[in-house]
Amino acid sequence: MLLLARRTDLRRISLDTPDFTDIILQVDDIRHAIAIDYDPVEGYIYWTDDDVKAIRRSLLDGSDAQFVVTSQVNHPDGIAVDWIARNLYWTDTGTDRIEVTRLNGTMRKILISEDLDEPRAIVLDPVAGYMYWTDWGEVPKIERADLDGMERVVMVNTSLGWPNGLALDYDERKIYWGDAKTDKIEVMNMDGSGRRVLVEDKLPHIFGFTLLGDYIYWTDWQRRSIERVHKRSAEREFIIDQLPDLMGLKATYVHKTFGESADRTTAAAATCASTSLRASSAAARSVWSSSPT
């Protein structure tokens, strides 16, 4: 399933039907949705709204819509759910911060507020204890830090333009990103090695970006489309064409096997070796005990 944020609505798109049927969620007062993510444990969709200046959530059918964060939000561009530690991370290109809160909006904390120009996409590896984000500012880059904001490392800072999209392949330990200025989709190993171009043709303006199984999905503002590419063969396919106001995108499996509903990818990650989970739990606890940067 794809979860799509358009400017004024949210949609579920089935990947199990040949025509990729889409359903509009019955959520009121969406003014300018941008980023979207999903919690596979409780089944909530989280999204940012740039006009309302808030972070909101609802269930998959649009019910139980709630405001999660409503204060000191300027331009929330990226959002990511830590489904293990039950935290919510976001980037704000107005305040130039990366912040975290509990999934219900309590215990908010600024993690990073220095040397951020235009922070955009953010993704998490809760098992390993890392967050990754893109910055499309004057010196575009992709960075990594521990989940508490410490141990910050620049992963990529060359041959980038507007790195709008970011996705992690947990199984193969790779990082994918889409760049709306260089018009490329690239990939590298999670240690920063092996960088290469996957797609570099007919990508006029990538924005939303997500990975599920063997495919990378993205939205394109100029083509008004959702497309996907096979991560190994580089074979491409249109999912939806000629749909305006496309913003963020999240691909997920939904099943009644991990909490109330589950993403098989995240469920598999969450059942990794106990040593990794213990390390992740320690990192998660330190989010609320360490000093902000």
Query: For residues 237 and 225, is the Cβ–Cβ distance under 8 A?
Result: no
Domains and CATH numbers, the chain: 2-287 (2.120.10.30)
Whole-number Å distance between alpha carbons of 73 and 35: 14
Summarize pLDDT for 205-235 with one digit per residue, the tens.
Answer: 999 999 999 999 999 999 999 999 999 999 9
pLDDT score of 165: 97
pLDDT score of 122: 99
Q: Which two tokens stand for residue 5?
A: 């944020």
The residues, ordered by sequence, that sit 6+ positions from 278 with a Cβ below 8 Å of its Cβ are none
Provide mean pLDDT across the span 40-56: 97
Q: What does DSSP assign to residue 184?
A: E
For the beta carbon of residue 3, count every other beta carbon within 10 angstroms.
24
Query: For residues 175 and 211, is the Cβ–Cβ distance under 8 A?
Result: no
Summarize pLDDT for 128-157 with one digit per residue, the tens.
Answer: 999 999 999 999 999 999 999 999 999 999
Torsion angle (degrees, nearest 10) of CA 96, 38, 239, 125: 70
Element (DSSP H or E) covering residue 219:
strand 215-220
pLDDT score of 21: 82
Q: Using the predicted structure, report yes or no on whether residue 249 has a pLDDT greater than 70.
A: yes
pLDDT score of 257: 32
Q: Which two tokens stand for residue 51?
A: 């006009």
Closest CA to 2 of 175, 210, 230, 178: 210
Rounded to the nearest integer, the mean pLDDT of the chain is 89
Residues in a beta bridge with 99: 90, 110
pLDDT score of 277: 45
Q: Using the predicted structure, report yes or no on whether residue 284 has a pLDDT greater than 70.
A: no
Q: Which two tokens stand for residue 152?
A: 């910050």
Q: Which residue is associated with the tokens 């990594």? A: 144
